[in-house]
Amino acid sequence: MRILITGGAGFIGSYLVDYYLKTGDEVIAIDNLITGKEENIKHNLDNKNFRFIKCDVCAPPRIEGNIDLILHFASPASPFDYLRYPIETMKTASIGTINMLEIALQNNAKFLLASTSEVYGDPLIHPQVEEYWGNVNPIGVRSVYDEGKRFAEALTIAYHRKYNLKINIVRIFNTYGERMRPGDGRVIPTFIEQALKNEPITIFGDGKQTRSFCYISDLVEGITRLARTDYPLPLNLGNPREFTILELARKIKELCNSNSEFVFKPLPEDDPHRRNPDINKAKKLLNWEPRIELEQGLKFVIEWFKKRLGLDRN
């Protein structure tokens, strides 16, 4: 297959690049590097089956040759990033998604959209099932991402209905792993960096809000299985084990042998109180479920961060 991966230098995108290159496919990655990092793909730059194009999905170049599959992963994804790049986030979800859908149409390619659990907003149904329409503030600060992804889902299914385009829509719940940018603001890299440096661990709100964290290899396995199906409706992928942010902080502190203190900061606007995926559909459709427990995954990431931060010498 010849596969186009947008956001190919990002956290999840770069693991998808690795996956498909390993299976012998040809991969073209595009990324404008506003939040992605060339470092995430540099080990593939010599691979003759790989090509990296630095560009914006809002103004993509003509891509020669046929494409079989488009994985549309370009977007800032951490709240910190999309609050810093609100307009870019909305343009990527709207103009960028239309551009990629058009390329899929011209090539008769399958199109897979990376959507998000953020489409459920601050959910009133728990755990979240795919049929739930969500509880999103359309003018809140997070709306640039939430509404952007909701619009991208609407676009994707409209192309499917009107043109019979083959599509998948994956709603990705909190995912973590190596290659997350230190300083990207998300809770796991932030807590790990703070714990390793024995700096205060910043808990937002009372820390009783919950998230469910999926290790990157489990997510990639789920996404690539979904891409082999013709299932056109949104599908949740994530780890159904739910933790409070306080539990996460304690776990990371312990695994890092840290003496960091906890400091409590205001809860950001519209920060969801609970989040947990119902993955029954994915289990049935893909014969998939996450295998890596949080503690195991955190150990991998902590080791990676120690090296990244130059803290592995003592």
> Which sequence positions are flagged as catalytic?
145
Radius of gyration of the chain, Cα coordinates, nearest whole angstrom: 19
Taking the C-alpha atoms of residue 113 and residue 74, their distance in angstroms, rounded to an integer, is: 10
Residues binding ligand UDP: number (CB under 6 A): 16
* Closest separation in Å from C-beta 214 to ligand UDP: 12
Binders of ligand UDP among residues 99 to 138 (CB under 6 A) are none
* Closest separation in Å from C-beta 26 to ligand UDP: 33
Beta-sheet strands, E only, within 161-291: 167-172, 175-176, 201-204, 210-212, 214-215, 234-237, 242-244, 262-265
Taking the C-alpha atoms of residue 301 and residue 216, their distance in angstroms, rounded to an integer, is: 10
Task: Considering the complex, state which of residue 151 and residue 204 has its C-beta at the smaller distance from ligand UDP.
Answer: 204
* Closest separation in Å from C-beta 22 to ligand UDP: 28
For position 195 contacting ligand UDP by CB under 6 A, the verdict is no
- Fill in the per-residue mask, 228 to 257: x = in contact with ligand UDP (CB under 6 A), - = not in contact: -----------------x------------
For position 268 contacting ligand UDP by CB under 6 A, the verdict is yes
Q: Please choose, out of 185-193, 252-260, 281-289, 294-302, the segment that lies near ligand UDP by the rule CB under 6 A.
A: 185-193
- Contacts of residue 75, defined as CB under 8 A and 6 or more positions apart, other chains included, come to 7, 82, 89, 92, 93, 96, 114, 145, 148, 149
> Given the structure tokens 């870019």, which residue do they identify?
88
DSSP state of 94: I
Neighbours of 139 (CB within 10 A): 7
Determine how β-strand 214-215 pairs with β-strand 262-265: unpaired
For position 211 contacting ligand UDP by CB under 6 A, the verdict is yes
For position 76 contacting ligand UDP by CB under 6 A, the verdict is no
- Of 186, 274, 281, 308, the one binding ligand UDP by CB under 6 A: 186
For position 204 contacting ligand UDP by CB under 6 A, the verdict is yes
Which residues would be at the binding site for ligand UDP (CB under 6 A)?
78-79, 174, 185-187, 190, 202-204, 209, 211, 245, 267-268, 271
